Each structure stands twice: as structure tokens, then as C-alpha cells.
Amino acid sequence: MTLGLTPLISLIAGILILVMPRLLNYIVALYLIVIGLIGLFGAGGITLR
């Protein structure tokens, strides 16, 4: 059984948001920053296995 990184991060984020709703702002902001940086600089050298 293999588990991808994205579903695991999503599950952890969802649980944290349920426990601490204020955390939603920080999770969304961090996600947008990371996606923006990957979009700007590319993820050519990054491979997740």
C-alpha cells in the first residue's frame, strides 16, 4: 500500500482545522505561498516518492 504526500498533508490540515479553526488562515496562506513559489521557480528538481 502506497500513500501519497498530498492526501496525507490534506488529512493532517483538515484535522488541525477542526481542532483549531483559527489555523485555517495560516494553512491557506502557507499553501498559497508554496504553490506560488513553485509556480515562479518551477519544481524541475523536486521529485517526491
pTM: 0.54
pLDDT band for position 49 (50/70/90)?
low
Count how many domains the chain has: 1
Domain membership of residue 46 (yes or no) is: no
- Does the residue 37 lie in any domain? yes
Q: How confident is the model at residue 48 (pLDDT cuts 50, 70, 90)?
A: low
Q: Distance (Å, rounded) from C-alpha 39 to C-alpha 31? A: 12
Residue 47 falls inside a structural domain: no
pLDDT in tens, 1-42: 566 777 887 888 888 888 888 888 888 888 888 888 888 887
Domain residues for the domain of 25 are 5-41
In-domain check, residue 11 = yes
HSE-up (13 A, CA, CB side) for residue 14? 6
Q: What is the pLDDT of residue 24?
A: 84
| pLDDT of res. 46 | 60
34 domain-assigned? yes
